[in-house]
Amino acid sequence: MTARSIPRSHIRTARLNLRPTSSSDAQRALEIQSDWDVARMLANATYPADRKDMENWFASHEQEWAEGTAYRFAIEREGRVIGIVDVDGIAADEGSLGYWLERAAWGQGYAFEAAQALVGFAFSEVGLSSLVSGRAADNPASGHVLTKLGFTQIDSRELFSRSRGETILQCRYMLAR
Ligand SMILES: CC(C)(COP(=O)(O)OP(=O)(O)OC[C@H]1O[C@@H](n2cnc3c(N)ncnc32)[C@H](O)[C@@H]1OP(=O)(O)O)[C@@H](O)C(=O)NCCC(=O)NCCS
């Protein structure tokens, strides 16, 4: 699939504004991932969260967007960034859905609302045919979000979690357009 030129537009949902990320989001992301309960569910996160890593990662987002390999959005609720939702690892016509929210925003349906909008974006704007996602076996809330979005669990595998410093069991999911 050839990368399409997708405008860096906001996506608005009933309660949220999804805004393409930029370097200036690194500080807020650092705060959110400094919570162990968030970081331990993210296999690629470092714990404690590392400022330089975070700045470098956010600095690469505009380039990823231009290349069509990842589309990442800050989730804003009443002007405050409460988390990140993204589709990354885009190759051929498949990508991987991810999301993480600050603890204070959990349990209010925001992950589902933001992820549902991203699924629509991935299929309609990016033109993907399928999405994959994965969650730690001990993260049932994320499994619930994925199931509500229509994802089906395909398998589970052992995966090294950078944040936990150990191998965990990851449940993998798929959703076709
Ligand atoms: C996972 C996470 C994104 C969920 O965010 P959220 O905004 O609370 O999710 P939602 O409110 O949209 O939905 C959560 C659903 O899981 C359910 N849930 C919560 N805890 C649960 C549990 N222990 N077992 C089963 N279901 C659970 C909720 O009831 C809700 O379902 P409902 O809408 O039918 O009531 C959030 O907890 C988070 O950011 N965690 C840390 C990072 C992370 O885990 N990211 C995902 C990595 S795979």
Please state the rounded mean pLDDT for residues 159-170. 98
Is the model's pLDDT at 78 over the cut of 80?
Answer: yes
Identify the band that residue 2 occupies on the pLDDT scale cut at 50, 70 and 90: low
pTM (predicted TM-score): 0.96
At residue 100's C-alpha, the angle toward residues 99 and 102, to 5°, is 155
Number of structural domains in the chain: 1
Residue 42: enclosing H or E segment and its boundaries? none
Measure 108 CA to ligand 1 centroid, in angstroms.
9
pLDDT of residue 3: 59
Is the model's pLDDT at 1 over the cut of 70?
Answer: no
Helix intervals (H) in 21-128: 26-33, 36-39, 51-59, 61-67, 110-120
Alpha carbon nearest to ligand 1 atom 16, residue: 141
The reply to whether 133 falls in a domain is no
Strands 71-77 and 166-176: unpaired
Alpha carbon nearest to ligand 1 atom 48, residue: 135
CATH of the domain at 118: 3.40.630.30
Atom of ligand 1 nearest to the CA of 102: 39
The reply to whether 138 falls in a domain is no
The reply to whether 160 falls in a domain is no
Q: Which domain holds residue 31?
A: 11-128
**144 CB near ligand 1 (under 6 Å):** yes
The reply to whether 162 falls in a domain is no
**111 CB near ligand 1 (under 6 Å):** yes
How much is the mean pLDDT over the chain?
Answer: 96
Residue in 95, 96, 94 with CA at minimum distance from that of residue 170: 96
